Amino acid sequence: MFQNYFKIAYRNLLRHKGFSFINIAGLALGLTACLLLGLFVYDELQYDKFLPEGDRVYRVYNNVTSEESTDQITCVPPMFGTTIQENFPEAETVLRIIMQPWEGKSLVEFGDKRMYEKGGLISDPTFFQVFPLKFIYGSPEKALDDPTSVVISDKFADRVFGNVDPVGKKISIDKSSFLVKGVFESNPKFHIPVNFVVNLAIMQLEPERMKSWGWQQFYTYVKLKKGTDANLLQTKFRAEVKKQIDPETHKPHNYEPVFQPLKEVHLYSASFKFDQSLRGNITYVKALSVIAVFILVIACFNFVNLATAKSLQRAKEVGVRKTIGASRGQLMLQFLGETLLLTFISVVFAAALTSLLLPSLNAFTEKEMSFNVFSSPGLLLLLLGLLLIVGILAGLYPALVLANFKPVSVLKGGLASTNGPGKTPWLRHSLIVLQFSLSVFLIICAVVVYQQVSFLHNKDLGFNKDQIMFFEMRGNNMYQNYETFKTELLKSPDIASVSIGYGFPGDATAGDGIYITKDGQRVNHSITHLMVDYDYIKTLGLEMQAGRWLSKDHPTDKDAAFVINETAVKELGFGTPEKALGQKMEWPIWGATRKDSTKKGEVIGVVKDFHFKSLFDKVDPAILQIFPGANWKVAVKMKGGNVAGAINHVKAVWDNFSPEYPVEYKFMDDNFEVMYKAEDKLRTLLWIFTGMAIFVGCLGLFGLAAYAAERRKKEIGIRKILGAETSSIVTLLSKEFLKLVLIAAVIAMPLAWYAMSKWLQDFAYRIDIPLWVFGAAVILAGVVAFLTVSYQALRAATLNPVKNLRMD
Amino acid sequence: MIQTQNLEKVYRTDEIHTTALNKVNLEVKAGEFVAVMGPSGCGKSTLLNLLGLLDDPDAGSLVFNGTEVARFSERQRADLRKRSIGFVFQSFNLIDELTVLENVELPLIYLGMKNPERRRRVEEVLEKVQITHRMNHYPQQLSGGQQQRVAVARAVVNQPPLILADEPTGNLDSSNGNEVMDLLSELNRQGTTIIMVTHSEHDARNTHRIIRMLDGQTIMTEATVSQAQASMVL
Ligand SMILES: Nc1ncnc2c1ncn2[C@@H]1O[C@H](COP(=O)(O)OP(=O)(O)O)[C@@H](O)[C@H]1O
Ligand SMILES: [Mg+2]
């Protein structure tokens, strides 16, 4: 019996090559899209799953509420860890890692090798207890107990030592000597991009400082004992924090600590501040999953549509089989089987296509996903599951329709009564509407995302980030003689200006308090501090709103002047920029020996707001002042033309000052480019998969149009004989489909508008969804549909009418 | 073998009700060869469809071999069809994607018969209708008469006691038509009951009895010469 079914299925496949091709191609493409997106989503879900007992590990972050908003701050005060350790026996192990500057690199030296390495952690020695990474050399026990020991990754070891056991060797990191105690295996699925770990003790932080409740600089993890209720512990800990923070001295923060399960760290922290881990975005993961399902649904609908449309051609066979005594069940089985056969072929193609495309996706997403059906039984099972689901989803309805044909009516020749003119094939039309709704929805989303991402890249940031070389000062000589260093740099004709300080756009900035006098009262305000020099404004191309910039000509500017930004004018309650001028301010000097010594001065100027952070965040209130003690970064503005000349000059001057450090630099605009990397990728992925969805949908439409044209051949022939023109016949055939596309657009638009409004809310600076997007999406979908359909219509309309009539 | 009582069939399309069969009472005994005649549209095909359980009556009773089958479920009907009834149509109704052999084999497959028994039976029947040399051809490659012989072969391959034939010679020229008629007569001689719709008086004369219909009713039954001969033989 199955042999007979198979024969029929196979011969039908060959006989209706066009239909088979459309079905298989559509389904294979849909499955490929689904598989690729599925792999991506699966990979995103794998973070930290490899860690044994990871379900007992939590990251402690802090919801910090200010007047304006609540921020999730990943860095918490050192006392969080200490308090958990001392007060809560439920906590088995506590781990604190100190936050270091973004992209911070350390100079690693061994023998004659010198290289900058990223991903150095300074942490409590409990690191490998909380995160039991696999050791290749050495052992995790006591590996970090000694403040001069270091544990390195296998990749680090490979770069520095080559392929030998480095345990027991000494290396220099940032000019201090460390003993290698172990080598662990890097795991790309670990949320911390760790390259080497040293003991926090190396920093020799004062015990007093470690008792701070205000110094938010530590990533804190807790491994709980078995069976601990994390929620309960969180509640208890919150109460404890409230109790311990001295009401007299605590900062104006409202802390609300949260225990975040390790398995949520990667995907559920997209909006967290100061989080340096490898982060994904659950919204994007969900969106891509939905798109994957969309595309598969579109492909399945194609199948259902084409199969039901084509079913008339199978009607006679059904009639005959029923007459002979086939039961409905047997017929359903037969037609389901045929769908499964087609699906099987599609799955095979899809698997091949996926293997082919995966390397590109890997390169694009910087992942190492693998897709090997033969070595992974799980994957094979998944494909089998997919085959069954899609096969049944797509095949069930057509099978039902076919199996329900009445033998009497179909054998009479034709199905006039069940498919006469005037009868709308409701199901087929609904499915087309749904397919095109999804397509229009995706088109609108793709355009809006494109617009927003372009906006992010092109928005006027209030300063000029182009042609600025940017680097960290290295070596004592550079730090101590920064004035001469600057003068030397400026000697090149290719360099326009140089600024040294701490707090450049796109780079780390510091937040701290400032005192102002309000209604006779001294009040503390938290504000962003940008430590600048006289040339900061020239280097970045900022503009003044009121007053003047800091100047060498005013000797007091060095020690008694502040410039603030427009937002600060508002936040500090000065009213207008003009009124802000002359306001008194007081700043507790960093690193002062006397705790209460402050820098007193007045506001001499207001600078126009500029975006020193990403466009995800509103411009923070900022204060700009001269404070060479914080000097850290150098920005070099180049003068058009000769970039290479400028770079060579910088290298030469650097080597004069700090030959013991290799030169290292980047460009400021790159800092901004990477901020929107996730969004850039989303944009590209959306375009690709939207394109796929539309293509697959059109394949189906193409098939249906071909079918409709075929069915109406005789009608078209008669019309032509009666004098109808080609154009009127094309219109006749296309009108029906275009109507459906329009209905689809009407359904999709509000949904797309809603989804995109939601997405845009994550951005402090965003576009208004332009109305033309909706028009464009409809027109695009309409034009594509029209071209698809009219091709078939035109073919039908230009055939010789006599031929069509004779065939009947 | 078959008795009907007040068998009725009404077709309802939107507004028009067509009474295709109006209180038909008839009886066909086992071993009979009956012709049904009447003008186009008088309900012959409808009657045959009801007798063959391809369609369900709106009222009346239909007894098949002593069992009331008028209210049989879809599944029961399919089962009865596949065991007891063979069909031959005017338009042959062979499956184009299957070869001659595969077409004829189909009823046996649904009966669950296994090879080599199945193969043997098919070849035997094909032999009988003299189409063995074409058994690996597809229907489209055969002449009308050949196709109808294949259809007859398919109808009898599972040796059903009853064959229903709806204008089996309607699409054939007279010599091909005669061949098919000879086949049916031969089957009848071997014991198969046959009910055949036909427009050809000539063909009808070769049966035992003619049932004449008009406007959904049987108006009279006449014995034919061959009926007399058959009675004589019996
Ligand atoms: N599926 C149907 N729907 C509506 N009316 C039908 C249908 N099939 C047959 N009829 C009507 O029933 C009557 C009998 O038809 P039929 O049995 O096919 O006649 P015959 O085979 O004697 O030519 C005719 O009037 C015909 O129009
Ligand atoms: Mg008829």
Three-class DSSP labels, B25-48: EEEECCCCEEEEECCCCCCHHHHH
* CA–centroid distance, residue B81 to ligand 1 (Å): 22
* Chain B residues whose beta carbon lies within 8 Å of the beta carbon of residue A333: none
* CA–centroid distance, residue B218 to ligand 2 (Å): 15
Half-sphere exposure of A8 (CA within 13 A, CB side): 23
Nearest residue (by CA) to ligand 1, atom 26, is B41
Residues of chain A with pLDDT under 70: 1, 67-68, 102, 246-253, 412-424, 595, 721, 723, 800-808
Of the residues A620, A645, A674, the one at which a domain ends: A674
* Chain B residues whose beta carbon lies within 8 Å of the beta carbon of residue A8: 95, 97-98
| Whole-number pLDDT of residue A542 | 95
Q: Quick one: A418 and A437 in the same domain? A: no
Number of domains in chain B: 1
Whether the CB of B4 sits within 6 Å of ligand 1? no
Residue range B115-173, pLDDT digits in tens? 899 999 999 999 988 999 999 999 989 998 999 999 999 999 989 999 999 999 988 89
Whether the CB of B195 sits within 6 Å of ligand 1? no
Calculate how close chain A gets to B46, using CA atoms only, in Å: 9
Q: Quick one: A32 and A62 in the same domain? A: no
| Whole-number pLDDT of residue B226 | 62
Q: How confident is the model at residue B189 (pLDDT cuts 50, 70, 90)?
A: very high
Residue range A120-137, pLDDT digits in tens? 999 999 999 999 999 999
- Asked whether the predicted pLDDT for residue B64 surpasses 90, the reply is yes
| Whole-number pLDDT of residue B234 | 41
* Chain A residues whose beta carbon lies within 8 Å of the beta carbon of residue B89: 411
Q: How many Å apart are CA A482 and CA A355, to the nearest integer?
A: 55
Ligand 1 atom nearest B42 alpha carbon: 22
Closest Cα partner for A728 from A796, A807, A804, A808?
A796
* CA–centroid distance, residue A336 to ligand 2 (Å): 33
Q: For B96, name the nearest residue in chain A, comparing CA atoms only.
A: A317
Q: Quick one: A124 and A191 in the same domain? A: yes
Ligand 1 atom nearest B38 alpha carbon: 22
Q: Quick one: A401 and A478 in the same domain? A: no
Q: Is A375 helix (H, G, I), strand (E, B) or coil?
A: coil
Q: For B75, name the nearest residue in chain A, comparing CA atoms only.
A: A327
Tell me which of A405, A406, A408, A409 to substitute to probe ligand 1's pocket, judged by most ligand atoms within 8 Å of the beta carbon. A409
Minimum-distance CB partner of B81 among A7, A317, A323: A323
Nearest residue (by CA) to ligand 1, atom 5, is B11
Q: How many Å apart are CA A477 and CA A656, to the nearest integer?
A: 9
Q: Quick one: A304 and A406 in the same domain? A: yes
Number of domains in chain A: 4
What ipTM does the predicted assembly reach?
A: 0.81
CB contact under 8 Å between A327 and B79, yes or no, is yes
Q: Quick one: A2 and A112 in the same domain? A: no
Q: Is B74 helix (H, G, I), strand (E, B) or coil?
A: helix
Whether the CB of B11 sits within 6 Å of ligand 1? yes
Minimum-distance CB partner of B110 among A11, A324, A408: A324
| Whole-number pLDDT of residue A418 | 43
Residue range A367-402, pLDDT digits in tens? 888 888 777 788 888 889 989 988 888 888 888 888
What is the domain-level CATH number for residue B213? 3.40.50.300
Element (H, E) at A489: helix A482-489
Minimum-distance CB partner of A324 among B55, B82, B112: B82
Whether A298 is in a domain gets the answer yes
Give B92 or B28, the one with higher predicted confidence.
B28
* Chain B residues whose beta carbon lies within 8 Å of the beta carbon of residue A413: 91
Whether A270 is in a domain gets the answer no
Quote the domain boundaries for residue A356. 1-47+283-423
Q: Quick one: A513 and A524 in the same domain? A: yes
What DSSP state is assigned to residue A413?
Answer: S
Of the residues A395, A423, A451, the one at which a domain ends: A423
Nearest residue (by CA) to ligand 1, atom 11, is B20
Whether the CB of B40 sits within 6 Å of ligand 1? yes
A13-19: long-range pairs with CB below 8 Å, 24+: A13/A341, A13/A342, A15/B97, A16/A310, A16/A313, A18/A703, A18/A706, A19/A306, A19/A310, A19/A703
Q: Quick one: A719 and A736 in the same domain? A: yes
* Chain B residues whose beta carbon lies within 8 Å of the beta carbon of residue A1: 109-110, 112
Beta pairing, strands A254-261 & A468-472: unpaired
Question: Strand locations in A16-90, DSSP E?
Answer: 57-65, 70-73
Q: Which of the ligands is closest to the CA of residue B43?
A: 1
Quote the domain boundaries for residue B177. 2-233
Q: Quick one: A437 and A339 in the same domain? A: no
- Asked whether the predicted pLDDT for residue B29 surpasses 90, the reply is yes
Q: Quick one: A698 and A786 in the same domain? A: yes
Whether the CB of A631 sits within 6 Å of ligand 1? no
Inter-CA distances, A204 with A122, A147, A209, A491, Å: 12, 9, 10, 40
Tell me which of B22, B46, B219 to substitute to probe ligand 1's pocket, judged by most ligand atoms within 8 Å of the beta carbon. B46
Q: Quick one: A140 and A224 in the same domain? A: yes
Whether the CB of B57 sits within 6 Å of ligand 1? no
Whole-model pTM? 0.80
Q: Quick one: A587 and A712 in the same domain? A: no
Number of other residues whose CB lies within 10 A of the CB of residue B178:
16
Whether A646 is in a domain gets the answer yes
Number of other residues whose CB lies within 10 A of the CB of residue B136:
10
Percent of chain B with pLDDT over 70: 96
| Whole-number pLDDT of residue A420 | 41
CB contact under 8 Å between B89 and A411, yes or no, is yes
